């Protein structure tokens, strides 16, 4: 191992995934994730159960990441952790672990903003992909957030638009719940949509000023539509599941792209990225490819494993904080409402 190599341990615990990753310079050596099945029967993440599961998972996950990377814990130069935004009880587990690790190993620690990290995942080494050039525009779509972000540098980001109510991932998950699908329903809507007709049903798209989004009206629209249809056709949802999924997905994607396209034109930016859990959606990914060709954009689609929550993105974001000398003190605390 060359002396100039920087090895970073990344820790992610903002919601319901406990993850640890080892980054050597800009290459990922390991990225371990422990999901939490405990929430499925509740139809959503239960904060108290999430933080308890993080406490159980954190040490085995870090241990697995170190072993898989083929290093020893003494090789780690810095520990990077998610400070926020997220669930307080969940964030506290990762933050406390990072503090203890930093203290015990006599190494510095750096704090990471989870939403910035989703975007910076594009800078992880990948032989099959080019890294984005600044400035670029990123549509970050996850279970908790929907943001249009102008990215001028690793630590220079401005939020141009955001959701006024539900996030895009929430729109997927809440729609799925109305169709009787288990949590999280986003990936299932994606799966069934592939066999359905996206113009079979029409749902209303919100009209919101500027570059902001709104998704709360969609679930009301779907609920009322299903109630009306099932009056005359009790098995309406089961018999039309694929078309319903395809139509719901198409509505969400259309809503997102209306704003993304107008923001790109307004700013005259042709370098466009997507990030966050919903960027795993196959319809969204192919729509970006299509729009990219149409508008002559240079597009950036994350690898599947870096779309949903993971510590690899925390480690790469931590690398830039470390190189900029932005160290976190032992007095730092988790911040559930941390802003970009
Ligand atoms: O980024 P993420 O893992 O966690 C947050 O920071 O919120 O995003 C999770 C969200 C969930 O709402 C999940 O349903 C959604 O991403 N998601 C998808 C897909 N995969 C994950 N939504 C639609 N299609 C997918 N393939
Ligand atoms: Zn996330």
Over residues 305-322, the mean pLDDT reads: 97
Q: How far is the CA of 237 from the centre of ligand 2 (A)?
A: 30
CA distance readout (Å), 22 to 35, 66, 130 = 18, 7, 21
Structural domains in the chain, sorted by start: 7-122+307-323 (3.30.420.40), 131-302 (3.30.420.40)
pTM over 0.85: yes
Task: Please write the tens of the pLDDT for every residue from 226-253.
Answer: 999 999 999 999 999 999 999 999 999 9
Helices (H) and strands (E) in the chain, counts: 10, 10
- The mean of the pLDDT values for the chain is 96
Q: Is the pLDDT of residue 339 over 80?
A: yes
Nearest CA, atom 16, ligand 1: 277
**Nearest listed ligand to the Cα of residue 143:** 1
Task: Please write the tens of the pLDDT for every residue from 132-173.
Answer: 999 999 999 999 999 999 999 999 999 999 999 999 999 999
Over residues 30-39, the mean pLDDT reads: 88
Task: Please write the tens of the pLDDT for every residue from 216-227.
Answer: 999 999 999 999
What is the predicted pLDDT for the residue at 2?
54
Ranking 30-39, 51-60, 187-196, 198-207 by mean pLDDT, the lowest is 30-39
Structure tokens at 80: 């990077």
Which residue, chain included where needed, has tokens 């679930």?
219
Q: Is the pLDDT of residue 45 over 60?
A: yes
Task: Please write the tens of the pLDDT for every residue from 50-70.
Answer: 899 899 999 999 999 999 999
Q: What is the DSSP string of 130-192?
A: PPP-SSEEEEEE-SS-EEEEEEEETTEEEEEEEBSSS-HHHHHHHHHHHTTPPSS-HHHHHHH
Smallest Cα–Cα separation from 119: which of 274, 247, 262, 303? 274
pLDDT tier at 3 (50, 70, 90 boundaries)? low
Q: Ligand 1 pocket: which residues have CB below 6 Å?
A: 15, 142-144, 169, 172-173, 184, 186-187, 190, 276-278, 280-281, 308-309
Contact 214, 164 (CB under 8 A): yes
């Amino acid at each position: 191992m060359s002396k100039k190599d920087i090895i970073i341990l990344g820790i992610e615990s903002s919601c319901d995934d406990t993850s640890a990753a080892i980054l050597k310079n800009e290459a990922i050596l390991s990225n371990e994730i422990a999901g939490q099945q405990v929430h499925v029967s509740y139809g959503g993440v239960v904060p108290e159960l999430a933080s308890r599961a993080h406490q159980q998972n954190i040490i085995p996950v870090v241990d697995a990441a170190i072993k898989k990377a083929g290093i020893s814990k003494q090789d780690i130069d810095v520990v990077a952790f998610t400070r926020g935004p997220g669930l307080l009880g969940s964030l506290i587990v990762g933050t406390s672990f990072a503090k203890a690790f930093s203290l015990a190993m006599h190494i510095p620690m750096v704090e990471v903003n989870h939403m910035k990290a989703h975007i910076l995942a594009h800078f992880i080494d990948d032989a099959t992909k080019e890294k984005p050039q600044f400035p670029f525009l990123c549509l970050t779509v996850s279970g908790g957030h929907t943001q249009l972000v102008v990215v001028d540098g690793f630590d220079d980001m401005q939020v141009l638009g955001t959701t006024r109510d539900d996030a895009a991932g929430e729109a997927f998950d809440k729609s799925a719940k109305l169709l009787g699908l288990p949590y999280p329903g986003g990936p299932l809507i994606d799966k069934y949509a592939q066999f359905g007709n996206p113009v079979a049903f029409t749902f209303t798209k919100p009209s919101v000023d500027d570059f902001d989004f709104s998704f709360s009206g969609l679930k009301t629209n779907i609920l009322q539509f299903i109630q009306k249809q099932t009056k005359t056709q009790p098995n309406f949802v089961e018999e039309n599941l694929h078309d319903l999924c395809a139509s719901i997905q198409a509505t969400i994607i259309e809503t997102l792209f209306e704003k993304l396209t107008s923001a790109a034109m307004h700013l005259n930016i042709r370098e466009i990225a997507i990030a966050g859990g919903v960027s795993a959606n196959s319809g969204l990914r192919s729509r970006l490819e299509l729009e990219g060709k149409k508008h002559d954009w240079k597009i950036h689609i994350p690898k599947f494993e870096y779309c949903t929550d993971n510590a690899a993105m925390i480690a790469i974001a931590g690398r830039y904080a470390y190189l900029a000398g932005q160290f976190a003190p032992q007095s730092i605390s988790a911040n559930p409402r941390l802003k970009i």
